[in-house]
Amino acid sequence: MELKLPPLAETGETLTGAEIAIRCLQEEKVEFVFGYPGGAVLFIYDALFNQKKVKHILVRHEQGALHAADGYARATGRPGVALVTSGPGVTNAVTGIATAYMDSIPLVVITGQVPTRAIGEDAFQECDTVGITRPCVKHNFLVKDVNELAITIKKAFHIATTGRPGPVLVDIPKDVSQQSARFHYPEKIHLRSYSPVVKGHGGQIKKALQLLLEARRPMIYVGGGAILGEASGEVTELVRLLGYPCTNTLMGLGAFPASDKRFVGMLGMHGTVEANMAMQNCDVLLAVGARFDDRVIGNPAHFAAGSASRKIIHIDVDPSSISKRVRVDVPIVGHVKDVLGEMLALLKAAKTGPDAAALGAWWDQIAAWRAKDCLKYDRASPIIKPQFVIEKLWEVTKGEAIVTSDVGQHQMWAAQFYRFEKPRRWINSGGLGTMGVGLPYAMGAKLAFPDADVACVTGEASVQMCIQELSTCKQYHLPVKLVNLNNRYMGMVRQWQEFFHGNRYSESYMDALPDFVKLAEAYGHVGMRVEKPADVEGALREAFAQKDRLVFLDIITDQTENVFPMVPGGKGMSEMILAEDL
């Protein structure tokens, strides 16, 4: 007699699509789901109600859900999960999805959809979710058969977290969440069309090290990929063994400790003179998990001409990031951690080291650029300087806080003046530059690390873009600290208008700002206003001493302060404007 085994999918218990979705999240050990209910996800919310393992965080706007999930992912390295309803739930989420996509953050976004029979009929709260999100996700799925749901969610987690990470969306029609199927969650998954390269090419790694050791003016340029790829240990060891200068991008801050003397600061549009000049003039450049974007190297033709014989080595998990804006001599596709590990092993076994005399001369040159002291500002100012606030924030938190930021001048000052020692401590929107991320990012980080100090450095314009999440912070007791650098302007817009638009401050001034102290209080939090430099440190200490309260520090800063250095758009990295030039 033939022995008949039921197919694998028949072995599990029978669950509804909604229950399957939640069970999948449990199987993935998801701690938090950030979301907002609505018609199309009612069955899924019902399934959430009946369990305790996955905690739902009810935000006040879907954009906040996505940013909070994104902030959680940036702080932990684990995928963030969001759940929103169809139509406006999805369109509100798009900004958050695009933000995560630009910075390669792993997210799994579950969206409700109208029932399958209604798709395409312009049903209530219907939108083409898969179509709308396609250009800003790593991948997306519409699940039309409940039997495909578990495996699709498995695929979503797999795709989101492997290779170059990114957001993956799973759209679930309401009837699919209602129908039943046997539940089976596969342990492993194979996708024939998706197998990201992990291991770097041995020959290329050898060649790269050879070039690095022959360098006379070397430079190591480390981006967000080193943080996403958990390679900061390898980066630090390599830089210290070689004794070469190292710069971090905005997204890479913390990958190499800022206190190390080999750190030349952040590079780019608001990078230091020493970082930008060393990039421009080096003869061998090692790029690690970075993408030579426009805010980093400025004009690529100017960069290429800066050092005609410059050789570039580029390690990245995404082949399409290599030779995209800048021609690379030694491309290495692979996980930065693995590739750097191999490079380190070779370096330790190497018989020769760097050319000490050449390196000494190069460091002398860098010291001369450093002597420009490009980040100096008026410390004696009777008006609060924003840079001073960040320096004090660093002191008060002993450099150990998780700092999130919004987008604009305050973001750049936080990046320049909060000296990050470790990865995943600096959380900001680099690629898309999304105002409003700071507060929800802080929520995601605080949920992940309840004992850590979490500070959101923001501005009075940015913070108003997701201010409603103060209410979420109250509901879930998230005592983050908001450091609002309030200059009564959209500062970066104002700066560009001052430099490039003849001081015509078109619509960059808000005439009717809320009283942030009262606003914080209205949401049930503590609000404090700080107007004198002498009060900054005390206020910060008082705020961080209130461990169980959210404190909104409204700090009235100098309206005219600008971020320096600055490489104007389209210019080369060495064409910086310094404070003293004006």
Partner 1 sequence: MRHILSILVENEAGALSRVAGLFSARGYNIESLTVAPTEDATMSRMTILTTGSDEVVEQITKQLNKLVDVVKVVDLSEGRHIERELMLVKVRAAGKDREEMKRTADIFRGRIIDVTDKSYTIELTGTTEKLDAFLEALDKSAILETVRTGVSGIGRGEWVLKA
Nearer Cβ to partner 1 (34/292): 292
Q: How far is the CB of 34 from partner 1 (least distance, A)?
A: 24
Q: Are 166 and 138 in contact (CB under 8 A)?
A: yes
For 389, other C-beta atoms within 10 Å of its C-beta total 27
**Cβ atoms of residues 401 and 210 within 8 Å:** no
Q: Are 269 and 376 in contact (CB under 8 A)?
A: no
How near is the Cβ of 104 to partner 1 at its closest, in Å? 12
* CA dist., res. 93 & res. 67, Å (int): 9
d(CA 562, CA 581): 12
How far apart (Å, rounded) are the C-alpha atoms in residues 577 and 560?
16
Asked if residue 472 lies in contact with residue 478, where contact means CB atoms within 8 angstroms, the answer is yes
CA atoms within 13 A on the CB side of 46: 13
Out of 62, 274, 460, 561, the active site residue is 62
CA 457 to chain centre: 15
We find the least distance from the C-beta atom of residue 138 to partner 1, in angstroms, to be 7
Active site residue 125: yes
- Which residues are CB-contacts of 582 (< 8 A; sequence separation ≥ 6)? 562
3-state secondary structure of 502: coil
Which of residues 137 and 239 has its CB atom nearest to partner 1 in the complex?
Answer: 137
List interacting residues with partner 1 (CB under 8 A): 130-131, 134-135, 138-139, 142, 159, 191-194, 318-320, 323-324, 327
Q: How many Cβ atoms sit within 10 Å of the Cβ of residue 235?
A: 27
Taking the least distance from each CB to partner 1, the nearer of 166 and 565 is: 166
Q: Which is nearer to partner 1, 326 or 551 (CB)?
A: 326
Catalytic residue among 154, 174, 311, 392: 174
CB of 278 to partner 1, least distance (A): 26
Q: Say how far apart CA 292 and CA 219 lie, in whole Å.
A: 14
Q: Which of 10, 51, 121, 124 is catalytic?
A: 124
Smallest gap from Cβ 324 to partner 1, in A, equals 6
Rounded to 5 degrees, what are φ and ψ at 552? -105, 105
CA 579 to chain centre: 28
Instruction: Judge whether 237 counts as a catalytic residue.
Output: no
Ranges assigned E (strand) in 91-231: 107-113, 139-142, 167-173, 180-182, 218-222
Closest CA to 569 of 316, 314, 377, 297: 297
Shorter beta-carbon distance to partner 1: residue 191 or 371: 191
Given 125, 178, 365, 468, the catalytic residue: 125
Give catalytic status of residue 492 as yes or no: yes
For the beta carbon of residue 14, count every other beta carbon within 10 angstroms.
11
What 8-state DSSP symbol labels residue 200?
Answer: P
Q: Return the residue matching tokens 């509901």.
A: 475
Distance in Å, CB of 130 to partner 1, minimum:
6
Catalytic residue among 219, 490, 492, 566: 492
Whichever of 140 and 248 has its CB closer to partner 1, that residue is 140
Using N-to-C axis directions, what is the helix angle for 202-214 and 336-349, rounded to 10°? 60
Complex with partner 1: residue 131 or 203, whichever CB lies closer: 131
Told to judge if 124 belongs to the known catalytic residues of this protein, a careful annotator would answer yes
- As a whole number of angstroms, the distance between CA 284 and CA 346 comes to 18
Q: Which is nearer to partner 1, 162 or 471 (CB)?
A: 162
- Token pair for 104: 């390669």
Residue 500: helix, strand or coil by DSSP? helix
In the bound complex, what is the minimum distance in angstroms from residue 310's beta carbon to partner 1? 18
CB of 108 to partner 1, least distance (A): 14
Q: Catalytic positions, please?
A: 62, 124-125, 174, 492
